Structure 1
Amino acid sequence: MKPNLAIPKVDRRDPTPKYIQAREILIDAIRSGQLAPGAKLPSTKEISSLFNVSLITAHRAMEGLVESGWLRREVGRGTFVRDDIDPTRPTLPSLVIGLLLPDQDRVNLDDYYHSSIINSLRRAAVGDTKRVEFFFHDRFEVRDRRRENVGAICMHPPLEAQRSVEKLAQRCPVVVLGGSFPEAQVPCVDCDNEQGARLAAQHLHELGHRRFLLVAGPLNLSNAADRVTGARAELAEQGIELSPRDLVVSTDSVVLDDAARTRIEARLRERPRPTAIIAGGFYLALATMQAIRRCGLEIPRDVSIVGFDDPASAALLDPPLTTVRQPLEEMAARAYRVVCDAVLEHQTEAMLHRLSTTLVVRGSSGPVGEE
């Protein structure tokens, strides 16, 4: 191969990582005979110029082909197409999965929820017999690309994104993870949020609580809306109807905004006040516990609280948090399998996968006390 060979450059508009594009271009050149067995490749610098990518990107693309048996390196001589390569050989099925996150710049990928999901996806891929590449993108789109084995996992998209996600699904297989759409035309994998909220409400009701406050994240997220729906439904079956004052909605699912915090504290200072709170998230529960203490109340003597999500730190709080545990690892593994089947096996049945939650009872919930 010479630097002036007519090969396509990397498409900078394509969200597929550039080193993956470069690697596929080189494989195509080997398969087409432009790079014959034993042929010496240009230097990394020349490759980067050919593809219009950085030296690091060019190096990463070539290293990937060495590891997968397409190329060999000789110290002091350079990089060569393997002499024993069969250009028509079948390769391990390869898969590129875009992890689509709305408002990616505002999402902390290191928090419990996202890190659990992402690490579980990676573990599922490592244990598979495929070559899998993940990349992050913040828009519900996939531009035209050379390769076929491309899928997308849309993580907790807002309800208003349904049309965009379904439009994307017309171009590549898509799975929604950590959310769902009404009458969805794409597969959705999530925990059963309504069931989880029902467990929390039932637990508190059995402890004697009759005055409730719900603290929720934005209701344009199906998780938040479903948790409110589940808690309301369970309490209604117990003869408890919640008023609009009994629901506080934060504009953020992680950070409790000032207006929501003020409303919570105002309700806790009223008489009669709520004796039980269901918080629709771990961080919302932490912020609500702070608000309870600022009002001079004790947990659970004066107010019981149940949260959602169960990081290790939940058991270390004072008091330890009663919470609804989501099966995050199982959710991620299911989403990975669904997108793999859709991409490689062309199984594209649209359906909702709802996984059961578990109530973990700890010290933040107790019998209703006397005011």
Structure 2
Amino acid sequence: MIIKNQTEKAVFMIDFKITEASENTKYGQVRDSIIAAIRDGRLAPLSKLPPISQIAADAGVSLRTADLALQALINEGYCFRRPKKGTFVAAGKRVVKQSICGVLGRIDPVNFPLHALLYAGVMEASIRRNVPTLTLPLPTGEKAQGGPEQMIRNCDRGREFNLRGVFITDRNYYHYGIELAKAFPQKRFFMLNYEMDDFGKMPANMAAVINDNYNGSCRLASRIFGQYRPKTVSFLSHALSDDDITYLERERGIRDTAKKGGVKVTATITNAVSGNRADQIDFAHEAVLKFLKKKKTDFIFAANDYLAFGAKKAIGDLGLNEKTKVAGYDGINLPLEQDFPTVKVPYTEMGRTALEEMLDPEFRMPQIVKLQPEIIMHAKSRGELIR
């Protein structure tokens, strides 16, 4: 299909070759056809491209596909867009836009230390790879002005930055991230840390980099069973959002390993709500006090370290330190007095890995990448960890 377009700057022709048999996407084929016209001189510098509707009609693609092709050309510096004027070929050599990435989540090291560790990993890798990190505003409502979607579009419309992808560090924005990924299929989106039940619903340009919660629990339980020889164990947890299965996978690992080792799992002690770290410690303390006054168990596996701290305090209050032991999970900000086994999750490594995968053209999406955690049996008084 040939397009002839007369402008004040130039007369140019575009030969669109769109085929279903190509491994390239349709918008990628439209993009390549326009690039070919730019490179061989059919599209002169500063010449105006036809409107999206004309490109879509002549290439035999949808308006959405044509728009994605033009946006890709803008991101790569072949073209630029002037508001209410149209899309133009860049003057002279194409402008190479600075690659950047975005983070969607709460950055609050005091109240959300886990999110801060994920962010630190992204930042570390972004500095090393010269891909600056942009903190996206949190969504406040559907299509709200100044929200993440508008900021991404502002980057796309400008001539300076190419936002390559977005990292989601908060499970509360997972489903919003899916909608963003659908709105910007040419960008890559990564969910960090949280293991969601509906990962299968992620679009083709989305992936997850998470901890191997199940295998971490299996390895921890194997070490515990070999060292402490418990006959009965219990699991201590609290509820997460309906689609967050992080703690369920940790519990499943304990139960499966116990079944293989002939160890009885007596009960799951759980709270219907979560809360901050103080709330979790208080809940665990009260729940374990109540539980151990009625039943016995040799070992309590907690879904996280805060719950383990509360359980440890309850065990001490009842004078059962020699009869009942406890283990945690997460390994966030381990204090010097931490004296129970735990699983140290590689939070910063998740951020580093996700950024590297975002930049790797060979990384296939969608995909779930699971990183292996580290088993820590206890800590000495000087903070020297024994693994």
State the alpha-carbon separation in 2 of the partners of residues 163 and 112 from structure 1: 22
- Within 5 A, what are the aligned runs for 1:238-317? 238-243=261-266, 245-249=267-271, 251-252=273-274, 254=277, 255-256=279-280, 260-271=284-295, 273-298=296-321, 301-311=322-332, 313-314=334-335, 316-317=336-337
Q: Is 1:131 paired with 2:145?
A: no
1:346 is displaced (CA, Å) by 9.8
Q: Is 1:209 paired with 2:209?
A: no
1:177 is displaced (CA, Å) by 0.2
| Number of the residue aligned with 2:373 | 357
1:130 is displaced (CA, Å) by 2.7
Give the aligned residue type for 2:290: A
Give the aligned residue type for 1:165: G
Q: TM-score, normalised by structure 1?
A: 0.62
Q: Is the 8 Å Cα contact of residues 191 and 354 (structure 1) preserved in structure 2?
A: yes
From 313, 321, 326, the counterpart of 2:345: 326
State the alpha-carbon separation in 2 of the partners of residues 175 and 212 from structure 1: 36
Q: Is the 8 Å Cα contact of residues 153 and 176 (structure 1) preserved in structure 2?
A: yes
SS of the residue 1:288 aligns to: helix
Higher relative contact order (CA 8 A, sep 6+): 1
State the alpha-carbon separation in 1 of the partners of residues 284 and 301 from structure 2: 14
State the alpha-carbon separation in 2 of the partners of residues 282 and 139 from structure 1: 32
Q: TM-score, normalised by structure 2?
A: 0.60
1:241 is displaced (CA, Å) by 4.8
From 177, 180, 190, the counterpart of 1:175: 190
State the alpha-carbon separation in 1 of the partners of residues 274 and 354 from structure 2: 25
State the alpha-carbon separation in 2 of the partners of residues 235 and 356 from structure 1: 20
1:278 is displaced (CA, Å) by 1.1
Q: Is the 8 Å Cα contact of residues 344 and 374 (structure 2) preserved in structure 1?
A: yes
Q: CA RMSD in A?
A: 3.2
Change (3 A) 1:332 1:231: same
| Number of the residue aligned with 1:19 | none
Change (3 A) 1:340 1:217: farther
| Number of the residue aligned with 2:213 | 193
Q: Is 1:95 paired with 2:104?
A: no
Change (3 A) 1:165 1:139: farther
Change (3 A) 1:110 1:249: closer
State the alpha-carbon separation in 1 of the partners of residues 255 and 105 from structure 2: 31
Sequence identity percentage: 17
Q: Which has the higher strand share?
A: 2
Q: Is the 8 Å Cα contact of residues 196 and 357 (structure 1) preserved in structure 2?
A: yes
SS of the residue 1:313 aligns to: coil
C-alpha distance after superposition, 1:161-217 (max 9, x if no partner) = 765432221023321001133424231111100011112222222221121121123
1:146 is displaced (CA, Å) by 2.8
1:240 is displaced (CA, Å) by 3.6
**Across the two proteins, how many residue pairs are aligned to each other?**
266
Give the aligned residue type for 2:154: R
| Number of the residue aligned with 2:66 | none
Q: Is the 8 Å Cα contact of residues 306 and 322 (structure 1) preserved in structure 2?
A: yes
| Number of the residue aligned with 2:68 | none
Runs (5+) with no aligned partner, structure 1: 1-31, 33-85, 365-371
The farther-off stretch of 289-298 and 87-96 is 87-96
SS of the residue 1:308 aligns to: coil
SS of the residue 2:328 aligns to: strand
Q: Is the 8 Å Cα contact of residues 324 and 359 (structure 1) preserved in structure 2?
A: yes
Change (3 A) 1:350 1:137: same
Runs (5+) with no aligned partner, structure 2: 1-45, 47-90, 142-146, 157-161, 381-387
Give the aligned residue type for 2:121: S
Give the aligned residue type for 1:278: F
| Number of the residue aligned with 1:225 | 248
SS of the residue 1:137 aligns to: coil
